Amino acid sequence: MPHPVEPTAAPVVRDDAVPPGSWNEVFAEPADVEVRVEVAAHWITTRRGLIDFKDPVTKRSGLEARPQLISLLVGVIRHPEHGDYLIDSGIDRSLAEGDSEAIRGVLDRVLETLMPVEDIASMRRRLDLDLQGVFLTHTHFDHVLGLPDIPREVPVYVGEREVDRKGLLNALQRRGHERVYRGRPPLAGLRTADGIPLAPFDHAIDLFGDRSVWALPVPGHTAGSMVYLVNARSGPVLFLGDTSHTRWGWDHGVGPGLFSEDREQNARALDTLRMFVAAHPEIDVVVGHEFD
Ligand SMILES: [Zn+2]
């Protein structure tokens, strides 16, 4: 069975929060939050998954469909009042230590090319994180592998419409799926209806009620996919998740290929995000699986 998702409110709801009229208004007053990107692992996978080779832009470019080295990324948000949060979950210690049973249990061949850099327990210690929650961009296997190292009382958020499709669950062998979620309560499903309209988005969820961190529902790659925007003092940072795995995809406006559940819907989301960043060039964009 797929792991359940239960609709839940944002981590902090403030009744006195005044909705902003525009993103300009939001960015004019950055929050006192820190944000960083960490690399949990490297992984070689197929470019046909990462890039839509049916897109005419890809065809014209002459891009080759060959294996590509990517990274599993973890975003770290440090909020002065509400503690520390992760964006996606990296990998757990047993994978980092090359526990062959863990790897067999998770994905067999798919993970043969996984090269661990740092597990999430080590990252928590190194950065001395006061971990209060995890915001998943979506639940594809390469975003949930660190969950066994996240205490079960720490809430794990994702879009409320996220479900594991049958085909995905076949790819991610049942035993591995159970291992990743063992003992964990339902995922906390951020409710689209809790978002406010903030052009070009119909629903922008203010996660702490203070305009510091936003969840933007972008169904397409998966039904419950989210991108996260951190309105940091050092400048706004947008975590795209797998709306675009690669920098090439983002630069050329081409979404993922085989890995997306609904390519057309994801392409629309990607267009909206590119329009948003074109209007606010101060935004630093972190694509799903590349970091330099
Ligand atoms: Zn991914």
Residue 244 to residue 257: CA distance in whole angstroms: 10
Distance 45 CA to ligand 1 centre (A): 10
| Residues within 5 Å of ion ligand 1, judged at the Cβ atom | 142, 242
246: phi > 0 → left, psi -120 to 50 → alpha, else beta; which?
beta
- pTM equals 0.94
Residue 167 Cα to ligand 1 middle (Å)? 16
Per-residue b/e over 233-270, b at no fewer than 16 CB within 10 Å? eeebbbbbbbbbbbbbbbebebbbbebbbbbebbbebb
- Domains of the chain, start order: 5-9+31-217 (3.60.15.10)
Ligand 1 midpoint to CA 288 (Å) = 6
With beta carbons less than 8 A apart as the criterion, state whether 40 and 123 touch: yes
- pLDDT tens-place values along the chain, 292 residues long: 678 999 999 999 998 888 999 999 999 999 999 999 999 999 999 999 999 999 999 999 999 999 999 999 999 999 999 999 999 999 999 888 877 666 555 566 667 788 999 999 999 999 999 999 999 999 988 999 999 999 999 999 999 999 755 455 455 556 677 788 999 999 999 999 999 999 999 999 999 999 999 999 999 999 999 999 999 999 999 999 999 999 999 999 999 998 888 999 999 999 999 999 999 999 999 999 999 7
- Residue 89 Cα to ligand 1 middle (Å): 11
- Asked whether 238 and 227 are in contact (CB, 8 A), the reply is yes
List, in sequence order, the alpha helices (H) in 119-262. 120-127, 166-171, 174-181, 247-252
Distance 29 CA to ligand 1 centre (A): 32
Q: What is the CA(243)–ligand 1 centre distance, in A?
A: 9
Q: How far is the CA of 142 from the centre of ligand 1 (A)?
A: 5
Do residues 134 and 85 lie in contact, with contact meaning Cβ atoms separated by under 8 Å? yes
List helix spans (H) across 83-163: 93-96, 100-106, 120-127
